[in-house]
């Protein structure tokens, strides 16, 4: 039964072979009693008899970000082949299988701008990513709806296009009225992610959806630079793989106190939107994420105006001058060592 359902326990290969077909949901049990539900193309959940956490691990929300796909596929293989003794309920999501096949970030539209209902706004459900965002929201809602007394976790795993001064970093979604979780930041640290960016406003990302709608401990986790399949140095992801295995296979996590000096902690000072077509940065395309600028330095020009650094030091992330007028071109960050982390 199992061998026929997912050949060689390779869920990625199975997913990619099924993208053109409507898949009826499938359910089966592993010999150790874990219930397996293949819920949709690229969506699979595993339920042990007893557990304390509902965990979602998603990858390929951007189709060409291969390392997280390889990490998730290995974890799925480890569970199916009983190498991991699963202690927590987990759902894996391979976000955009068609974009994986296309070796591209997306087919029609950036999937990670379409959550929290954005899929149905504006042009409406007019392309594949919009339909997929709506379907993935429903899977997350169903998965988290089963329990309201378990800890909810969602790590949306990515790799960045741009090189970064901090190779691995996590975006902590805006969560007004809720303190940040020391346990989660420590866990990210064990994954090799020692840079945290506290976000400042609601967004249409997948992690914000889980955080805002279901009070999940959710993060967008950037694990390094985009590489083609087979060209990832998986040693660079060993700590992430090991820590995620621990998260899934241990009842209790290691108790390590949060020490802010072990992390680079940033918050958004301002978001610079584009107002004119001639918007241009005053730094080169190859400038790394988290590069720091000092007060008064020229950051960009548009419409005959100069945009300069306002704080003593500001670090930039996600610069992109080629966005439509009205959208964000770059986030400017300042150090945030004293946020409410408990």
Write down the catalytic residue from 109, 222, 302, 314: 222
Token readout for 252 is 């209790």
Residues 82, 31 contacting (CB under 8 angstroms): yes
Instruction: Give the CA dihedral 206, 328, 287, 296, nearest 10 degrees.
Output: -130
Which residue's Cβ has the minimum distance to Zn ion? 158
Which CB sits closer to Zn ion, 225 or 275?
Answer: 225
Q: How far is the CB of 74 from Zn ion (least distance, A)?
A: 19
Token readout for 326 is 């009205």
User: What span, in angstroms and rounded, lies between the C-alpha atoms of 64 and 106?
Assistant: 8
State yes or no: is 222 an active-site residue. Answer: yes
Q: How far is the CB of 66 from Zn ion (least distance, A)?
A: 11
Instruction: Rule CB under 5 A: say whether 89 interacts with Zn ion.
Output: no
Q: How far is the CB of 193 from Zn ion (least distance, A)?
A: 15
Which CB sits closer to Zn ion, 12 or 299?
Answer: 12
x/- site string to Zn ion, residues 144 to 163, per CB under 5 A? Answer: --------------x-----
Element (DSSP H or E) covering residue 158: strand 151-160
Which CB sits closer to Zn ion, 78 or 156?
Answer: 156
Spell out the alpha helix ranges (H) of the chain: 2-5, 11-17, 66-80, 97-101, 128-145, 182-190, 206-214, 238-249
User: What span, in angstroms and rounded, lies between the C-alpha atoms of 328 and 25?
Assistant: 39
User: What span, in angstroms and rounded, lies between the C-alpha atoms of 238 and 12?
Assistant: 19
Instruction: Rule CB under 5 A: say whether 168 interacts with Zn ion.
Output: no
Instruction: Rule CB under 5 A: say whether 62 interacts with Zn ion.
Output: yes
Binding site for Zn ion (CB under 5 A): 62, 65, 158
Annotated binding site for Zn(2+): 62, 65, 158
Q: Active-site positions?
A: 222
């Amino acid at each position: 039964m199992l061998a026929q359902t997912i050949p060689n326990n390779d869920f990625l290969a199975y997913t990619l072979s099924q993208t053109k077909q409507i898949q009826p949901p499938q359910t089966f049990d592993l010999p150790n009693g874990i219930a397996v539900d293949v819920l949709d193309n690229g969506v699979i959940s595993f339920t042990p008899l007893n557990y304390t956490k509902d965990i979602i691990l998603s990858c390929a929300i951007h189709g060409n970000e291969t390392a997280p796909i390889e990490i998730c596929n290995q974890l799925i293989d480890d569970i199916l082949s009983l190498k991991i003794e699963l202690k927590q309920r987990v759902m894996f999501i391979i976000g955009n299988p068609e974009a994986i096949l296309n070796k591209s970030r997306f087919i029609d539209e950036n999937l990670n701008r379409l959550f929290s209902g954005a899929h149905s706004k504006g042009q409406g459900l007019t392309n594949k990513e919009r339909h997929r965002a709506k379907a993935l929201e429903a899977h997350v809602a169903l998965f988290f709806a089963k329990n309201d007394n378990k800890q909810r976790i969602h790590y949306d795993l990515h790799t960045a296009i741009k090189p970064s001064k901090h190779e691995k970093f996590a975006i902590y979604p805006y969560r007004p009225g809720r303190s940040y979780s020391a346990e989660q930041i420590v866990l990210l640290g064990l994954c090799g992610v020692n840079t945290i960016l506290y976000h400042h406003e609601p967004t249409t990302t997948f992690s914000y959806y889980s955080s805002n709608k279901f009070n999940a401990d959710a993060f967008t986790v950037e694990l390094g630079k985009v590489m083609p399949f087979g060209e990832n140095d998986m040693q660079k992801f060993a700590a992430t793989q090991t820590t995620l295995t621990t998260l899934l296979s241990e009842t209790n996590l290691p108790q390590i106190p949060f020490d802010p000096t072990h992390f680079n902690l940033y918050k958004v000072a301002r978001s610079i939107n584009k107002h004119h077509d001639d918007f241009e940065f005053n730094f080169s395309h190859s400038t790394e994420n988290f590069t720091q600028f000092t007060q008064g330095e020229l950051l960009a020009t548009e419409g005959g105006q100069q945009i300069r650094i306002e704080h003593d030091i500001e670090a930039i992330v996600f610069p992109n001058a080629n966005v439509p007028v009205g959208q964000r071109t770059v986030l400017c960050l300042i150090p945030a060592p004293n946020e409410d982390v408990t």
